Amino acid sequence: QPLQYLNAFVRMYGADAVEAASAAMSGEAAFYGLQPVDSDLHAFAAHQSLLKAYEKLQRAKAAFWAK
């Protein structure tokens, strides 16, 4: 059981590192230091901006070829 080693891990690595490792193992924080995101990537403003530009381009292409 990992819990039986908890005190030793805290003494060796520090409480913050042990908490980060525990969160990674449990799936709470899958990637250390990275912000959580949803499936639509709303947390990334630059990505959303690129998607809007792409949609605008596709509308312009459709309007051009509809002539």
**pLDDT tens-digit map of 17-51:** 999 988 888 888 877 778 777 888 888 899 999 99
Tell me which of 54 and 3 has the higher pLDDT: 54
Using an 8 Å Cβ cutoff, are 50 and 57 in contact? no
Which pTM value belongs to this model?
A: 0.51
